[in-house]
Chain A
Amino acid sequence: MTEVGMRRSSLSTMAFTSVLLFICSTYSCYAQAPLLMWTSEGSNMPHLAQPTAGQTVSGGQLASYLKSALSIAPHSMLLFLQDQLSMEDFTMYGGVFGNKQDSAFLNVESALQTSSNPLVLPALDWSASHSILELLQGELGIPAVQIDPSTLKEIKLNTAQPSLLAVHLPYTAGDQTKELLLKNDAIMGEVLDMFKSLDVPYTAVYTGLKPSRVIEDTPVMAGHSVGRSLLQAPPESPVKPPLVVNNTAGQPCILLWADTLLASYSGNQVDLARDIFNGSADVTAGSVCNETLSRLVLNYRNVLNFRSLRLIFSMRKIFFPVSARDWSVMEQVVLEYDGQRAIFNASGGIYSPAEYSFHCQSVSSAQSPLLVPRSATDNATMWTLSFTDFQIQGFSVTGEDFSYASDCAGFFTPGIWMGLLTSLLMVFILTYGLHMIMQVRTMDRFDDPKGPAISVPQSE
């Protein structure tokens, strides 16, 4: 007989444990192992309250269960400790779908049935089941004795004293699980039969060191609804916050957001919006904002074979007397690359009242262009800019959120207006004509249906 000190664990079990610890530290884990406790036929076991459905039994609760059980139950403890055990093993291999003959736990079941008041803890916290041996040793006050079936015959038990026998049962997940469980069941059956033949009352515990299956539970974060959700809904793309430029007083004064900022030069294209929204301050070095001028400067290094590239949006706040309000007009979009400049005029299309932000789905120099090269000979003719889902605010910025977005697309397009005008005009003409035609009446003033018919002389 061997004394049992520290149990040796192999590398794989250590790996499993560490993974389990890591998973269970980040998420709440359904990492539980079941525990079955029963006594031999004829022995008493106190009626212990079964845990409520779904409740995970902690180590402290298990200790209280054991204490109350061992107050009456026999003190000869048999601990069948399987490497891994979960409720799912019982479900899969326990013949629960009407095929009892295929069950891998026949001996356990018969033992449970013959016992009075067996205790079934379906969900025992895995830290408690991991340390069940130490718990029992503490409860009984004696060290455990590791036995295996071959050495079973030589055991001489002193029933007057409490004893703790631990049987180690292996477990592997995979194809051989069923055979292994059958073998374990056979071992358990052997041990129980031996005890029955010896006529020794015992208390048996069957549990696993670790759960064989761990179900991760996604954390319920505040803000997420616990209602039903579409399983097939696509994952949301993370929304990036707008780019903020602070003025000298530390207050935000320019906001920019864009899905993509594509710039093409001689066949090469780069998306300038890729890395600028993480909040680094040197992207916007050189930006200026005051009461009437806002200039947003975006600095890039080593793009499109240029050592340095600067994209500059310059906006001005202008008061137009006819509308009697301030307007924020983007005058130019400038590209400075390696000492050269390409200037696009943008005042034709990129404007909004100064209190609002400007949004446009497509700001481009190619199709329906809002950005037009300043002159036909400017360097801008070699560039093609295309900004998608572009939103910018240069004035009246009060926080890190945009104001109401004045969109570049109105409700009616010019084409719709032209069509409406001509169609309504023609409908009006049609209406007027119909009205007139419906008013035509034959003169019936001198009609006399009873009088003689009018006679027209045939002679000339």
Chain B
Amino acid sequence: MNGHAILYTGVTLAFWSTILIVGICYTIFDLGFRFDVAWFLTETSPFMWANLGIGLAISLSVVGAAWGIYITGSSIIGGGVKAPRIKTKNLVSIIFCEAVAIYGIIMAIVISNLAENFSGTTPETIGAKNYQAGYSMFGAGLTVGFSNLFCGICVGIVGSGAALADAQNASLFVKILIVEIFGSAIGLFGVIVAILQASRFLKSMFIYISSTLALLNMSCCGQKLNVCFENVYFEYI
């Protein structure tokens, strides 16, 4: 076994044995009543949960975007050595990955704007609404974060394949781009659900706007593919 495997098995073993021993001690001393999940959930501050959500929203999205760009970028650069024509067209894959990070930062800003101060020190005085707000923001952040993480990885791997296929055969690029579009949509789903979680009153408007955008994207690219994307990348370049 290499060093990494030893380290990770050691850490896992320590973790599970700690849990086991603590559980056994709770049981044999009849102190099971002190293991109180409700106490944990009500005594920890809703601010912690909200800010964890915000932090995870942006950071996991950026991880996804970075991973995707790293994968695609390496392929574009590698393929571009032998087929330099691919470099400009394949930047669109990078843009799809970048979009994921943009979703993340927008959601982080939206969620953090929803956070407000509250007064109250005991669980009774804090009140259920504040706990709901804290947990909702945490959930929303997790949702958008993990969705964008896997979306970014997906787009990255597909984009890498697209670059290498394009280097071999230029007509393959456009078809693979459709796969990339579907991969990008899942990030958008995460954003929608996160908005639903964080602010229930905004849900109808956002569903409308985001679904319109998604449909426009897909229809545009379906009918007039080259025109659509060349316009896009001309703007960027």
For the A-B complex with A323-B33, A418-B44 known, give 8 more contacts whose Cβ atoms are closer than 8 Å: A325-B33, A348-B122, A348-B124, A369-B121, A414-B40, A414-B43, A425-B52, A454-B81
Chain A residues numbered 87-129 whose CB sits less than 8 Å from any CB in chain B: none
Closest to B43 in A: A414
With both chains docked as a complex, state the minimum distance between the C-beta of A366 and any C-beta of chain B, in angstroms. Answer: 12
Task: Provide the residues of chain A in CB contact with B84, threshold 8 Å.
Answer: 460
With both chains docked as a complex, state the minimum distance between the C-beta of A299 and any C-beta of chain B, in angstroms. Answer: 31
Question: What does the 1/0 interface line of B112-138 toward A look like (CB < 8 Å)?
Answer: 000000000111110000000000000
Chain B residues numbered 62-96 whose CB sits less than 8 Å from any CB in chain A: 78, 81, 84
Given contacts A348-B122, A348-B124, A422-B52, contact A417 B33 (CB under 8 A): no
Chain B: interface residue count, which band? 10 to 19
Contacting pair A417 B52 (CB below 8 A): no
Partner of A435, one of B4, B43, B52, B81: B4
Question: How many angstroms from the CA of A417 to the CA of B44 in the assembled complex?
Answer: 8
Closest to A412 in B: B40
Closest to B67 in A: A436
Question: How many angstroms from the CA of A353 to the CA of B122 in the assembled complex?
Answer: 21
Closest to A429 in B: B59
Task: Provide the residues of chain A in CB contact with B124, threshold 8 Å.
Answer: 348, 372
With both chains docked as a complex, state the minimum distance between the C-beta of A332 and any C-beta of chain B, in angstroms. Answer: 14
Closest to A347 in B: B124
Contacting pair A422 B48 (CB below 8 A): yes
**Does B199 have its Cβ within 8 Å of any Cβ on chain A?**
no
Q: Please, could you name 16 A-B residue pairs with CB atoms under 8 Å apart, sorted by A?
A: A353-B33, A368-B121, A372-B125, A410-B39, A414-B40, A414-B43, A414-B44, A418-B45, A418-B48, A425-B52, A429-B59, A435-B4, A438-B4, A443-B78, A454-B81, A456-B81
7 A-B pairs closest in CB distance? A414-B43, A418-B48, A418-B44, A414-B44, A353-B33, A348-B122, A348-B124
Question: What does the 1/0 interface line of A338-355 toward B look like (CB < 8 Å)?
Answer: 000000000011000100
Closest to A419 in B: B48
Interface residues of A (CB under 8 A from B): 323, 325, 348-349, 353, 368-369, 372, 406, 410, 414, 417-418, 421-422, 425, 429, 435, 438, 443, 454, 456, 460
Task: Provide the residues of chain A in CB contact with B4, threshold 8 Å.
Answer: 435, 438
Task: Provide the residues of chain A in CB contact with B200, threshold 8 Å.
Answer: none
**Does B175 have its Cβ within 8 Å of any Cβ on chain A?**
no
Question: How many angstroms from the CA of A418 to the CA of B51 in the assembled complex?
Answer: 12
Task: Provide the residues of chain B in CB contact with A406, threshold 8 Å.
Answer: 33-34
Partner of A372, one of B45, B48, B81, B122: B122
Task: Provide the residues of chain A in CB contact with B78, threshold 8 Å.
Answer: 443
Contacting pair A369 B122 (CB below 8 A): yes
Task: Provide the residues of chain A in CB contact with B45, threshold 8 Å.
Answer: 414, 418
Task: Provide the residues of chain B in CB contact with A422, threshold 8 Å.
Answer: 48, 52
Question: How many angstroms from the CA of A454 to the CA of B78 in the assembled complex?
Answer: 13
Task: Provide the residues of chain A in CB contact with B34, threshold 8 Å.
Answer: 406, 410
Question: How many angstroms from the CA of A325 to the CA of B34 in the assembled complex?
Answer: 13
Question: What does the 1/0 interface line of B10-41 toward A look like (CB < 8 Å)?
Answer: 00000000000000000000000110000110
